[in-house]
């Protein structure tokens, strides 16, 4: 810890109890800094990111963190223009509010919304504060990769300029994997002030809930089933078509059951596919994650071919923390395939290869429970060997505290 308590300002459109992963990870770091004796303030939106009909209190203390929520700053994800409007209004209000804040020593900013980093530079300049830039996804690269914007369009050029400015002026840059590091350094070489620190599971239970004692499995009549679960945002960066097509092919396998938990535009494809072996559920409460995640026998992780180094599928850590093997649908090389290759805790299928996905699913259906458990245990052991959630949060906070 630094010699005296400091004031940290977190700027993020999403924050707990909103279920978005960015907000969850920022909250873990903010709470750890507060536990270390610092004054931590969070500016965030007062409405849900995925569901703007959800409203949160305008101000509250959450586990030692002073959370201040801004109105008219999140209108949902129905279009890029709607997201941009909410993001711009959020950043403008955040900057104005920061001008009357007595003292700020460091501004911690991530990538929700993408223009938040520009607001962080303005706030830091006014307060002569440090800027800690925590990159959790890369835009405009993501919308270009998904075909939602042209590479040379004016908005893309503007966002690229913002990226380069914050990278040049940030005091520390945190990225999530080696592929993201390469992409960021291709914009501006920040290797001298870059830390590659993967995120952590939302829940890291000391003991994994056994199937027989799991109320989630009982509530959903999963006894005797082998559950393949996708838990998280169903977004365009995480295509589900290959696994859904394979799920249709294995409907006659009586034990295989597919659960898709969360929100996002991809929920429609899940629900349109339907079938007796496919179940769609909303996000589960944070306090119930230890049950819902442990209810799976295999966790599904997907990554679009074009978004390697742009988005980091953090759901993999939740699967590992509850000792479940991983079925990855993604490109040849990515961070999750690195994990599977190192720890032998899952399978890797390429997008579009429905035959291979079907083969893996039928293999899973015929595997003894002990063999699946042993694969999952290798992943859980890897999480614990690195210090678990507490160790990962601590490493990030060490960087956030540095030279503040």
Tens-digit pLDDT string for the chain (404 aa): 446 899 999 999 999 999 888 999 999 999 999 999 999 999 999 998 878 889 999 999 999 999 999 999 888 776 778 888 999 999 999 999 999 999 999 999 999 999 999 999 999 999 999 999 999 999 999 999 999 999 999 989 999 999 999 999 999 999 999 999 999 999 999 999 999 999 999 888 889 999 999 999 999 999 999 999 999 999 999 999 999 999 999 999 999 999 999 998 899 999 999 899 999 999 998 889 899 999 999 999 999 999 999 999 999 999 999 999 999 999 999 999 999 999 999 999 999 999 999 999 999 999 988 999 999 999 999 999 999 999 999 999 999 999 99
37 contacts 5 by C-beta, under 8 angstroms: yes
Of 229, 325, 219, which Cα lies nearest the Cα of 279? Answer: 229
What the block records as the tokens of 272 is 């349109």
What the block records as the tokens of 385 is 């060997």
Predicted local confidence at residue 1, as pLDDT: 47
Cβ-based neighbours of 103, under 8 Å, separated by 6 or more: 7, 127
User: Domains in the chain, please, with CATH?
Assistant: 7-196 (3.40.50.2000), 211-385 (3.40.50.2000)
Cβ-based neighbours of 191, under 8 Å, separated by 6 or more: 181, 185
Predicted local confidence at residue 286, as pLDDT: 83
Q: What angle do CA 284, 363, 200 make, to 5 degrees?
A: 35
Cβ-based neighbours of 296, under 8 Å, separated by 6 or more: 227, 228, 229, 231, 259, 319, 322, 324
180 contacts 307 by C-beta, under 8 angstroms: no
Question: Pairing mode, if any, of strands 278-281 and 194-196?
Answer: unpaired
**Whole-angstrom distance, CA of residue 166 vs CA of residue 152:** 20
**Whole-angstrom distance, CA of residue 325 vs CA of residue 299:** 6
pTM above 0.75, yes or no: yes
Q: What does the DSSP assignment read for 240-303?
A: -HHHHHHHHHTTT-TTEEEEEES-STTHHHHHHH--TTEEEE-PPPGGGHHHHHHT-SEEEEE-
What the block records as the tokens of 51 is 């569901």
Alpha carbon of 32 to those of 3, 37, 65, 164, 404: distances in Å?
16, 9, 9, 29, 16
- The per-type count for the chain, helices as H runs and strands as E runs, is 15, 14
């Amino acid at each position: 810890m630094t010699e005296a308590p400091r004031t940290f300002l977190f700027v993020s459109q999403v924050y707990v109890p909103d279920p978005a992963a960015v907000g969850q990870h920022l909250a873990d770091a903010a709470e750890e800094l507060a536990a270390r004796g610092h004054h931590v303030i969070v500016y965030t939106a007062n409405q849900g990111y995925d569901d703007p009909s959800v409203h949160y209190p305008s101000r509250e203390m959450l586990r030692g963190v002073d959370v201040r929520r801004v109105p008219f700053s999140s209108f949902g994800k129905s279009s890029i223009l709607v997201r941009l409007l909410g993001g711009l209004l959020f950043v403008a209000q955040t900057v104005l509010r920061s001008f009357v804040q007595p003292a700020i020593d460091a501004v911690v900013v991530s990538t929700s919304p993408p223009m938040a980093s520009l607001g962080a530079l303005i706030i830091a300049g006014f307060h002569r504060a440090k800027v800690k830039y925590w990159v959790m996804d890369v835009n405009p690269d993501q919308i270009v990769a998904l075909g939602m914007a042209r590479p040379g369009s004016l908005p893309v050029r503007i966002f690229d300029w913002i990226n380069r400015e914050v990278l040049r002026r940030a005091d520390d840059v945190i990225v999530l994997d080696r592929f993201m590091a390469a992409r960021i350094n291709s914009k501006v070489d920040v290797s001298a002030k870059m830390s590659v620190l993967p995120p952590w599971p939302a829940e890291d239970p000391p003991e994994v809930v056994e199937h027989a004692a799991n109320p989630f499995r009982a509530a959903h009549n999963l006894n005797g089933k082998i559950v393949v679960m996708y838990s998280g945002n169903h977004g365009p960066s995480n295509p589900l078509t290959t696994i859904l097509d394979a799920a249709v092919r294995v409907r006659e396998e009586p034990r295989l059951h597919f659960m898709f938990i969360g929100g996002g535009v991809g929920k429609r494809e899940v629900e349109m596919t339907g079938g007796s072996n496919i179940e769609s559920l909303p996000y589960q409460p944070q306090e119930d994650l230890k049950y819902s995640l442990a209810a799976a026998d295999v966790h599904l992780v997907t990554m679009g071919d074009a978004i390697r180094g742009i988005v980091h599928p953090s759901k993999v850590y939740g699967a590992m923390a509850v000792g479940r093997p991983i079925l990855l649908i993604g490109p040849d090389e990515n961070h999750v395939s690195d994990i599977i290759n190192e720890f032998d805790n899952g399978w890797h299928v390429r997008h579009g290869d429905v035959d291979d996905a079907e083969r893996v699913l039928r293999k899973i259906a015929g595997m003894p429970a002990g063999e699946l458990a042993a694969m999952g245990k290798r992943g859980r052991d890897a999480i614990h060997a690195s210090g678990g959630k507490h160790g990962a949060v601590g490493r990030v906070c060490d960087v956030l505290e540095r030279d503040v």
